[in-house]
Chain A
Amino acid sequence: MLRQRLVDALGPDAVKTTPEDLAVYAFDAYTDGRLPSAVVLPSSAREVSAAVKIARDLDEPIVPRGAGTGLCGGAVPVEGGVVISFTRMNRILELDERNRRARVQSGVVNLDLSKHTARSGLFYAPDPSSQKISTIGGNIATNAGGPHCLSYGTTVNHVLALEVVDERGEIFVTSIDDAGYDLTAVLVGSEGTLGIVTSAWVRLLSLPESVRVWVVAFGEIEAASEAVSAIVGAGIVPTALEMMDSVITQAVEAAFGAGYPTDAAAVLLIENAGFEDDMDACEAAIRDIATRHGALSWRSARTAAERDALWAGRKGAAGATGRIAPNYYTQDVCVPRSKLPQALRAIEGAASEHHITVGNVFHAGDGNLHPLLMYDKRDLDQVAAVVETGNIILQSAIDLGGTISGEHGIGFEKRGAMTRVYSTADLATMARVRDVFDPRRALNPEKIFPSGSRCPEVSPP
């Protein structure tokens, strides 16, 4: 019934229902998965709309999906239903160079957009590590970040307008220039629970005229994190300020030979992009602070190839840990920058207490940590230890005034933790928004909010 109606509306090529096909869409980059009832691959907003109407008629939930790189189960069909995959909606529809914006379908791959706009001297700034595969639609759903959002801001700062299919299958458009409430901003980061984004106008920036990348080695993680706090605290905001510890750099060098020193306890990867006139002064200022905090070495990447290799190593870091352990689990906590040293100590403490190898690779300039906890999922004791370690790290971050997710999203995985940072009243305001856009909870159910949470019918006394 479901299959037939979807095929009638979208054609047989766009509908998948065999078990082998469904299995592909049961998972994203989270640990668990579940088979959906069907998968559709629409080519237009109109087809998305048709699929939504059919799903609604047959009471099937809807799970939008970009490239499935999400780490928290945001694209996992936890209640089955119809997965709407945007793989085929990958066209760049308009490039408005003069006004620095582009209109793209949700399935456009993040890096592909910047490659395309580079010919016009423009780029799309949000650069999550998954950008070679992840899609603009997925980035919008999670309000994706990445190393360069330190200076350029996260996805929401670069979204100008959205075309959305709602839970009834109607298509509507929002723009940040609309009078009234900023629906565009509330849709960004809503993880597919308020509407299905089919295309977007996004902001583009001019490619910088000058780029410098430096690698700075430290003998202690603590010293490196203090240097980071000092740099940002001095009002210097480089375009990116990343940290990796020796567990990570050793894995990265073994995998890629990217050019990182492997004997340093911690390494900072710093990029500054901008005008040539400011480069020397900026470099001198950062170098001065790093030196005062005990930097062991300072190296400038001399060519574009060197820079690219360093970045490839950084962005491939998580994958490189495959040579240490078959599985990893990461948190995505974000703490105030001045609390970085304490946060790192808490991570180290929790990991060593539970005998878990941890590798830190993260957006130090933002205070956004990604401790990678290595384990083998076949060893149930290790699994338990990792879960407990992860829990301690999460709570430590909250205790330091931080948040439970800086950029990966809540998805399915972190729903339970929402009550650790938000009160009932806080969550109720979000439920009110959900009640307007998805009263039946048909859009990506069981994501973001603790299970069973709804706007309370009875007002508080």
Chain B
Amino acid sequence: MLARCDADGNKVLVVGGDTLAGMGLPPERVDLILNTTALDKLLEYVPTDLTLSAQSGMAVQAITTLLAQHGQFVPFDAPRPQYATLGGTLAAGWLGPRRHLYGRVRDYVLGSTIVLADGSVARAGGIVVKNVAGYDMSRLYVGSFGTLGVLASVNLKTLAAPRQARVFLARLPEGTRARACDHVAARLAIRPAAAFWIEGFPNAVDGADGIDGRMLILLEGSDALLERATRDLRSTLGRAGVPETRVVDAGAREAFQRVVDAYVASLGERSVTYRFGSQPDDAERRAIAVRELATRHELRCETIVDVMNGDVVMRVSALDSRALGSVIETFDDALHDSEPRAQVIASAHPHRSSLRVWGEPPATIERMRELKRRFDPNNTLNAGRFVGGI
């Protein structure tokens, strides 16, 4: 089917669970939609080998549930995992907040099968955990946004799941934000699995803001480790001027997932969510600078800072779509002056395509364009959706 489209000059849009539809540009033209969700079979799972192979349309949640039954996991940390597909999550290059501890999802891809635009099928890697036979093509396909080929199946390595998880919430009194973020990121011997500074997102994410926002921290490990980690966290936050830290007793994983879901939760047509990366020691400062920029443009700003990895997620919004539309392009320009790499990860606003949704293309964009030309010379797959017009 792909071969025919390619030969006929038709444009194909590849769609998975549509959970990250807020990323990238709308396609130049769509003659055919290739929906991968029917490719949802598990191919092989060998728990004692810590390897799993599945078709790319399998839902992330289905994989997570299966692995959990055997005390294993893969840190996808994707939003809305009941809908997110394996292939889509990988193709979008989604980066989860636990990656400083467990690695990026691409580090778990041992091999893949891809269908190229001309219909040919190619395999990369294998099923073993160490493999240097040739180029690591799977890692090239991860994050390629469906523009080099369609992932048909993926081989993953798995990890033993941590025994326990605990989520902490702390309202931040005035003047404590910078120290709290710094201490959590740098002064805990037992590093949190995830730690966020959050401002806003009142219904989406647990807890209420103090004057300086709130922190949500996920600790994972054995029972013994968690006891010590809890004591350390409380005393460390105390030293940062944060007197009270409460535990979210039931549903630590759900509380964590709500934060991840919030990354791409849009307020209909009246919000745009940006994401940019930073070094952990700089993220909080840069987040505040962008918040001030948003305020100057009369935009409401809600923020999630992943303090362990340095990611900043900001949802800017106005009272309605029209109000957003009148300032968003100016804001987008100003934002990219100070944060050239800021990307849009969620928005339903009609003017989205006029924003720099991928941020400034990297210096190597010409090489990337060449790669695209070699893999998909007729520009059949997801044309125009990706960085630099790819």
Q: A residues near B, CB below 8 A?
A: 96, 98-99, 142-143, 145, 149, 153-154, 156-157, 172-183, 185-186, 188-190, 194, 206, 209, 229-230, 232-233, 235-237, 275, 277-278, 281, 334-338, 363, 366-368, 401-410, 414, 418, 421-423, 425-430, 432-433, 435-437, 448-449, 455, 459-460
Contacts and interface: CB of A to CB of B under 8 A. Distances in A.
A286 to B, nearest CB: 13
Given A98-B280, A180-B387, A185-B106, A336 B128 contact: yes
Interchain residue pairs A-B with the least CB separation, the first 10? A233-B48, A235-B160, A185-B139, A406-B130, A178-B362, A277-B224, A432-B374, A180-B387, A403-B131, A334-B128
A423 B113 CA distance: 12
B49 A408 contact: no
Contact of A435 (B71, B144, B374): B374
A430 B124 CA distance: 9
Contacts of B127: 336, 401
B343 to A, nearest CB: 7
Interface in B121-144: 121-124, 126-137, 139-140, 142-144
Contacts, number: 220
B49 A177 contact: no
Given A182-B106, A185-B139, A190-B135, A429 B124 contact: yes
Given A174-B364, A179-B361, A338-B46, A425 B140 contact: no
A422 B186 CA distance: 45
Contact of B359 (A145, A179, A183, A448): A179
Interface stretch (B33-41, B331-339, B365-373): B365-373
A185 B136 contact: yes
Interface in B337-390: 341, 343, 358-359, 361-365, 367-368, 370-371, 374-375, 386-388, 390
B120 interface: yes
Nearest to B47: A233
A427 B341 CA distance: 34
A309 to B, nearest CB: 26
B133 A418 contact: yes
Nearest to A194: B135
A367 B107 CA distance: 18
B133 A421 contact: yes
B248 interface: no
A236 to B, nearest CB: 7
A430 B137 contact: yes
A363 B72 CA distance: 22
A111 to B, nearest CB: 21
Nearest to B227: A277
A185 B140 contact: yes
A142 B190 CA distance: 32
B269 interface: no
A186 B136 CA distance: 6
B43 interface: no
B246 interface: no
Interface residues of B, number: 76
Contacts of A448: 134-135
B343 A142 contact: no
B72 A235 contact: yes
B362 A403 contact: no
Interface in B47-67: 47-51
A432 B371 contact: yes
B295 interface: no
Contacts of A96: 279
A366 B388 CA distance: 40
B143 A182 contact: yes
A112 B390 CA distance: 42
B370 A429 contact: no
Nearest to A142: B132
B132 A143 contact: yes
Contacts of B131: 334, 403, 405-406
Nearest to A435: B374
Interface string B91-113: 00100000000011011000000
27 contacts: A98-B186, A99-B279, A149-B130, A156-B107, A174-B364, A177-B341, A179-B361, A182-B106, A182-B139, A232-B50, A277-B227, A278-B222, A281-B224, A334-B131, A366-B128, A403-B131, A403-B132, A403-B133, A404-B133, A407-B132, A418-B133, A421-B126, A426-B122, A432-B374, A432-B375, A436-B367, A449-B134
Nearest to B279: A99
- Taking each of A99, A153, A403, A407, which has the highest tally of chain B beta carbons within 10 Å of its own beta carbon? A403
B118 interface: yes
A19 to B, nearest CB: 34
Contacts of B29: none
Interface string B132-167: 111111011011100010000000000111000000
A43 B47 CA distance: 49
Interface string B273-286: 00001011100000
Contact of B189 (A149, A209, A336, A418): A209
Given A181-B368, A182-B106, A403-B126, A422 B388 contact: no
B160 A237 contact: yes
Given A177-B277, A401-B128, A429-B124, 17 more contacts: A172-B363, A173-B363, A178-B364, A186-B135, A233-B48, A236-B160, A338-B49, A407-B130, A410-B132, A418-B134, A422-B123, A422-B134, A425-B122, A428-B120, A432-B371, A433-B137, A459-B118
B253 interface: no
Contacts of B46: 336, 338
Contact of B128 (A153, A275, A367, A455): A367
Contacts of B143: 180-182
Contacts of B137: 186, 429-430, 433
B225 interface: yes
